[in-house]
Amino acid sequence: MSSVEAPDTTAFARDQAARRAALRDHFDRLAPERAAWAGRASYYHETVLDVVRFTVPPGSSVLEVGCGVGDLLSGLAPSRGVGVDFSPAMIAAARARHPHLEFVEADAETVDLEGETFDHVVISDMLLLADDPWAELRNLRRMCHPSTRVVITFHNAMWETILEAVECVGLKMPSRPSAWLTLDDVQNLLGLNHFDVVSRGSTMLLPARVPLLSTLVNRVAQLPGLRKLNLIQHLVARPRWTGETPPAPRPLTTSIIIPTRDELGNVADIFARTPQLGPRTELVFVDGRSKDGTYEEIERLLPTRPGAKLLRQTGKGKGDAVRAGFEVATGDVLMILDSDLTVPPEDLPKFYLALAEGTGDFVNGTRLVYPMEDEAMRFLNRLGNSFFSVALSTVLGQTLRDTLCGTKVIGRAEYMRLAANRAYFGDFDPFGDFDLLFGAAKLGLKIVEVPVRYRARTYGETKIHRFRHGLLLLRMTGVALRKFAFVR
């Protein structure tokens, strides 16, 4: 058995395929006009070329992912240049424009160039559009040798509204909804896949060519305080591994804790879609007095997953259910999966690998990176999540995009230490999110985040009460401030 076994094809997988197909069709339609659009934004594209060319000298071997019609790759004057794009029309246009280069029609998440590696890998303005940036970066490791440098450029999410307005008036090429990635997010994704960032920065506050003014404004924009406002963000990363391949994950057993209450319509999907992780995976259901037949349905399906367990919750609240599940779990890795399936079980391998490969000690999901399905999260909930993320990042001293995502992962040994020190904060958290985050931060655990595509609930009702629970979360934030402030 492999360390991570994917589940069978599901509606989730079909949705992913449909999303990729829609994006491919979008770029196929734009291919005949791509060069014309680039000409209208020549100042922007010339600046991107300068940014990339600063790291990539002429005569290097270069792989560009999401190459479009190949103009950036050609501008780098590589000795060996290969462009990859999943749009057949873009690849056809690139081959016609730059016959001296090689272009491959393939998906960046699965492309295999038969063992060839490159001095530089370039991803320009495409990572935000990727269906799964984590998977794209992970797959690209096979095209890197220990001295490879990965150069990534993308637009600042703060410019999103301005870019949408410019697109509406026909001054920018039509785009698709993109991920809301910051420099910290991309650095986190690189770290999860064993890349170290060696430099990062930004440029271009005025993205239009205005004689004298453009040069003046964009030079001033390099001053501290203004850099966060620039349109173009860029990073250079290097492989963390020194051998031929990245380190293999440790073979850790896994326990997935699934609190349930009136989730009958999701039970069958949980059993069918939750993947096998490591040498052994056990599902631990903790049911909180369901009235819709959830307990009975889990009991019926238990034989289909060897080692699966079902407990009746004696206490109250999700935090109590999680602690009860952790108490009987036997895995090296302890995971939480919300039974509403708004976080897809298909994303759990990413959490497992972060622990098994040692890139983090505590893994937190974040739902605030990718575009969400309609009605997946109400506006006030999203606003509250953002507020608590900023507040707790400041208090805990570690960057957190989404403190309230239900999917969290910790090693058994680390959890036992956390539980032994729980009295420091007290039994104050009915949800369990802050209890685990506070405890992990106090133990000095490295917290990393895995972006997930948050989906709308298809069965049942949310158990969250915005205002009552919001006040409770505010009080818990106050607890963190008091406990971490070192003020007597």
* Residue bearing the bigger pLDDT, 431 or 202: 202
Task: Pick the range with the lowest mean pLDDT from 140-149, 264-273, 464-473.
Answer: 464-473
pLDDT single digits (tens) 97-137: 999 999 999 999 999 999 999 999 999 999 988 889 999 99
- What are 485's two structure tokens? 């402030």
Backbone phi and psi for residue 281, each to the nearest 5 degrees, phi listed first: -130, 125
Average pLDDT, the chain: 88
Whether 322 shows a pLDDT value over 90: the answer reads yes
Whether 96 shows a pLDDT value over 50: the answer reads yes
Q: What is the predicted pLDDT for the residue at 179?
A: 78
Q: Which residues have CB under 8 Å from 348's CB, separation 6+?
A: 256, 274, 275, 277, 335, 337, 407
Q: What is the predicted pLDDT for the residue at 67?
A: 97
pTM confidence score: 0.88
Question: Could you tell me the domains of the chain?
Answer: 4-239 (3.40.50.150), 254-484 (3.90.550.10)
Q: What is the predicted pLDDT for the residue at 188?
A: 94
Task: Pick the range with the lowest mean pLDDT from 78-92, 339-353, 397-411.
Answer: 397-411
pLDDT single digits (tens) 199-248: 999 999 999 999 999 999 999 999 988 999 999 999 999 999 988 788 89
319 vs 430: CA distance, rounded Å: 5
pLDDT single digits (tens) 328-387: 999 999 999 999 998 999 999 999 999 999 999 999 999 878 776 655 555 556 666 667
Average pLDDT over residues 390-394: 75
Tell which residue, 478, 476, 451, has the closest CA to residue 130. 451
Q: Percentage of the chain surpassing pLDDT 90?
A: 65
257 vs 322: CA distance, rounded Å: 7
Q: Which residues have CB under 8 Å from 403's CB, separation 6+?
A: 364, 385, 388, 389, 392, 433, 434, 437
Average pLDDT over residues 293-310: 96
User: DSSP secondary structure string, 16-66?
Assistant: HHHHHHHHHHHHHHHGGGHHHHHHHTHHHHHHHHHHHHHHS-TT-EEEEES
pLDDT single digits (tens) 134-180: 999 999 999 999 999 999 999 998 998 899 898 888 878 888 777 78
Q: What is the predicted pLDDT for the residue at 129?
A: 86
